[in-house]
Amino acid sequence: MTHPDPDTPDMTGLDALFSDAAKGPDLAPSEAFMTQMMESALAHQPVPVAIAVPWWRQALSVLGGWQGMGGLVAATCAGFWIGVNPPDTMPSSFDSLLNIEAVYSNSEDTADLLGFGWVLEEE
Amino acid sequence: MNMPLDADTDTSDDVLLARYARGDAAAARLLVARLTPIVYRHAARVLGDQAEAQDVTQEALIRLWKIAPDWQAGTAKVTTWLFRVTANLCTDRLRKRRGVGLDEIAEPTDPTPSVEAQLQTKSRMDALQTGLMQLPERQRQAVILRHIEGLANPEIAQILDISTEAVESLTARGKRALANIMAPHRETLGYDDDTP
């Protein structure tokens, strides 16, 4: 191989050498060493610990977490309020307990409810 | 032992390390298969001694296993961290071995008398190793990381804890020095013959 300038190092040849070194398995660890490394890795591996979960956290999880719990509380409050102060058209819980049925008056003119307040005359 | 090849290239080192910390043995196997050759190869090239390289590899990986539960994913590449630990361990060993400053030119530690003699019986890689061993330690680390491991300068800067400009300077000077060391053996190395 000729080199034009003896003072200039051959970088191209060195790059080829680097390239061979990068892909070459000349420094591959032995199988015995790999086995030793595997044993070392397992020996130093943290052991998974079962963490005790409190009962309330488990219950919360069953109910769908904080979001599910929030919905449940809102529904409970609404139900309680309806029970305490029911709408007029609903029998109160107290009446229901005494087996008293609600009586609906029909005092209003049904025409007001069922039509336009006037009757079509048919021929 | 049938060591499986590191076929799972999709899973990042970060994820595997997290799985390792949770006790996943498969993750341990993959990490060992993936990282051991990298660390060992670098340590062997820097130290020029395979037995010492094994010690360094073992120590570096033990440190990784210990830090695994506290590893913050996304903060740093596992390999960068590992290269840094390896580089420091190698530096410590070379200091103990030589007892001289980092950038002083070291004598070749390989007992083989010359590159020429090695080339008679060994491969070009051995010659390269002998040449590398004649570089100052920091230049050697930088040249290996840049030209053999193929890392980018910013990553090498992180590993060696120096600026990117210092890396550029180290690699340039190291490569030039190595080329000069190898120059008398160009024909024996067969640069032209072996280069595709």
DSSP assignments along B46-100, one per residue: HHS-HHHHHHHHHHHHHHHHHHGGG--TTTS-HHHHHHHHHHHHHHHHHHHHH-S
* CB-based contact B25 A14, cutoff 8 Å: no
Mean pLDDT of A18-37: 85
Give the amino acid at B181.
Answer: I
The DSSP output letter for B6 is -
Beta carbons within 8 Å of B27's beta carbon, 6+ residues apart: B16, B17, B19, B20
Residue B51's pLDDT band, with cuts at 50, 70 and 90, is very high
Distance CA B176, CA A69 (A): 70
Mean pLDDT of A60-83: 84
- Cα distance between the two ends of chain A: 123
Nearest to B196 by CA among A118, A23, A25: A23
Residue A30's pLDDT band, with cuts at 50, 70 and 90, is very high
Kindly tell me if the per-residue pLDDT of B28 is higher than 80. yes
Closest CB to B125 among A26, A34, A37 = A26
Nearest to B80 by CA among B18, B8, B161, B5: B161
Kindly tell me if the per-residue pLDDT of B79 is higher than 80. yes
Closest Cα in chain B to A7: B180
Calculate the average pLDDT of chain B.
83
Residue pair B65/B16 in contact (Cβ under 8 Å)? The answer is no
- Cα distance between the two ends of chain B: 36
The DSSP output letter for A123 is -
Give the rounded distance of the alpha carbon of B31 from its chain centre: 17
* CB-based contact A13 B3, cutoff 8 Å: no
Instruction: Say which residue, A3 or B20, is predicted with more confidence.
Output: B20
**For residue B194, which residues of chain A lie inside 8 Å, CB to CB?**
16, 20
Distance in Å, alpha carbon of A60 to nearest chain B alpha carbon:
25
Closest CB to B36 among A1, A37, A45 = A37
* CB-based contact A14 B182, cutoff 8 Å: yes
Nearest to B68 by CA among A44, A96, A111: A44
Nearest to B86 by CA among B145, B7, B135: B145
How far are the Cα atoms of A10, B72, B97 from residue B92, in angstroms, in the given order? 33, 27, 9
Closest CB to A21 among B62, B65, B128 = B128
pLDDT, residue B162, reads 95
Instruction: Say which residue, A3 or B172, is predicted with more confidence.
Output: B172
What ipTM describes this predicted complex?
0.77
Kindly tell me if the per-residue pLDDT of B193 is higher than 50. no
Distance CA A8, CA A4 (A): 8
Give the rounded distance of the alpha carbon of B42 from its chain centre: 2
How far are the Cα atoms of A54, A91, B15, B23, B115 from residue A48, in angstroms, in the given order? 19, 59, 17, 5, 52
pLDDT, residue A102, reads 53
Distance CA A75, CA A17 (A): 75
Which of A4-13, B7-16, B135-144 bottoms out in mean pLDDT, i.e. has the lowest? A4-13
Kindly tell me if the per-residue pLDDT of A43 is higher than 80. yes
Closest Cα in chain A to B196: A16
Instruction: Say which residue, B143 or A112, is predicted with more confidence.
Output: B143
The values of phi and psi at residue B46, to 5°, are -75, -40
Instruction: Give per-residue pLDDT as tens, B114-137.
Output: 555 444 445 678 888 889 999 999
Distance in Å, alpha carbon of A72 to nearest chain B alpha carbon:
35
Kindly tell me if the per-residue pLDDT of B9 is higher than 80. no
pLDDT, residue B142, reads 95
Distance in Å, alpha carbon of B13 to nearest chain A alpha carbon:
15
Kindly tell me if the per-residue pLDDT of B100 is higher than 70. no
Kindly tell me if the per-residue pLDDT of B5 is higher than 60. no
Instruction: Say which residue, A50 or B73, is predicted with more confidence.
Output: B73
Residue pair B144/B90 in contact (Cβ under 8 Å)? The answer is no
Mean pLDDT of B85-103: 79
Name residues 28-67 of chain B within 8 A of A (Cβ).
28-29, 31-33, 36-37, 40-41, 44-45, 50, 53-54, 57-58, 61-62, 65-66
Kindly tell me if the per-residue pLDDT of A46 is higher than 90. no
> pLDDT over 70 for what percent of chain A?
60
Kindly tell me if the per-residue pLDDT of B10 is higher than 80. no
pTM of the model: 0.65
- Longest Cα–Cα distance of chain A, Å, equals 126
Interface of A with B (CB under 8 A): 1, 3, 6, 9-18, 20-22, 24, 26-29, 31, 33-38, 40-42, 44-48
Give the rounded distance of the alpha carbon of B6 from its chain centre: 19
